[in-house]
């Protein structure tokens, strides 16, 4: 068992067993951090949402949702876990050790969430809240709402003008399974448009078609003035 090491983490554990459990992957046996990760996921999401709500007073619900998703994604939490050197402290089974589990995003993100839950169980709500706010304050303050994707922007433009929403039709797909190409059409009733899009996934093709349709509609609107 690894000795208790002081984390680069804004909490001093009173119960070393909670700390150890939070850093124990299921491959190392029981007790492990799976249940703690479940609780920590909710705690991180709620506390980050509260912080964003306070710091971005002009952001609407959609903006806040996108910002929270960006901050609590597996990749973002894994990056934070690396900054805290959690990978060096994880308890892993031999298989995970050999395959580099201490570097894997999913394992690092789960350990971070488990550690937040451990803080909550170790010292209560206020200690957990203080800890999460300290870890995320700078990230939340610097974050800007990511731009809405083309499909969302097209939908909002049409809705604002009282027009029907676009329909996306899969025209064809071709190529081997590992290199498929999808051709779709974005169909708008008013103004009457059928705009093609091609991508390596159906979603990517739809986004490209929506982007082209959006530009065409904006040009039509500008010409109306």
Dist. CA 189–CA 163, nearest whole Å: 8
Check if the beta carbon of residue 166 is closer than 8 Å to that of residue 210: yes
DSSP letters, 106-144, are HHHHHHHHHHHHHHHHHH-HHHHHHHHHHHHHHHHHH--
Provide the total of helices (H) and of strands (E) in the chain, helices listed first: 9, 3
Q: What is the dihedral of CA 201, 204, 205, 206, to 10 degrees?
A: 120
- Known active-site residue 113: yes
Considering 37, 96, 110, 113, which one is annotated as catalytic? 113
- Known active-site residue 183: no
Residues in the chain, how many?
225
Element (H, E) at 182: strand 181-188
Q: Which positions are catalytic?
A: 41, 113
């Amino acid at each position: 068992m690894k000795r208790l090491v002081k984390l680069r983490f804004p909490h001093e554990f009173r119960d070393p067993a909670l700390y150890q459990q939070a850093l124990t992957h299921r491959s190392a046996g029981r007790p492990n951090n799976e249940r703690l990760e479940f609780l920590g996921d909710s705690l991180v999401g709620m506390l980050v949402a509260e912080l964003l709500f306070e710091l971005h007073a002009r952001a609407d619900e959609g903006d806040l949702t996108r910002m929270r998703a960006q901050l609590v994604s597996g990749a973002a939490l894994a990056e934070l876990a690396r900054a805290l050197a959690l990978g060096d402290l994880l308890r892993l089974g031999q298989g995970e050790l050999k395959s580099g589990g201490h570097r894997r995003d999913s394992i690092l993100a789960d350990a971070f969430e488990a550690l937040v839950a451990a803080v909550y169980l170790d010292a209560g709500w206020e200690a957990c809240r203080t800890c999460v706010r300290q870890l995320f304050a700078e990230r939340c303050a610097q974050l800007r709402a990511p731009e809405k994707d083309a499909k969302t922007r097209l939908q909002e433009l049409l809705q604002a003008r009282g027009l029907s929403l676009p329909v996306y039709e899969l025209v064809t797909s071709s190529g081997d399974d590992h290199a498929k190409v999808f051709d779709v059409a974005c169909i708008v009733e008013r103004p009457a448009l059928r705009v093609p899009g091609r991508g390596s996934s159906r979603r990517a093709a739809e986004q490209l078609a929506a982007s082209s349709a959006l530009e065409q509609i904006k040009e039509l609107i500008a010409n109306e003035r």
